[in-house]
Amino acid sequence: MSKHTPTPWKVGKHNGPMNGWPIYHDGQWLAVALDHLLDPLANAHRITAAVNACEGISTGQLETLPAGRLAQLLVNEGTHQNGL
**54-81, pLDDT tens digit by residue?**
999 999 998 998 888 888 888 888 766 6
81 or 3, which is more confident: 3
Residues 6+ positions from 22 with CB-CB distance below 8 Å: 11, 12, 13, 15, 29, 30, 31, 32, 44
Q: CA 50, 6, 58 angle in degrees (round to 5)?
A: 65
What does the pLDDT read at residue 45? 96
> How many angstroms separate the Cα of 82 from the Cα of each of 71, 74, 79?
17, 12, 5
The pLDDT of residue 44 is above 50: yes
**14-25, pLDDT tens digit by residue?**
988 878 999 999
Strand partners, 28: 25
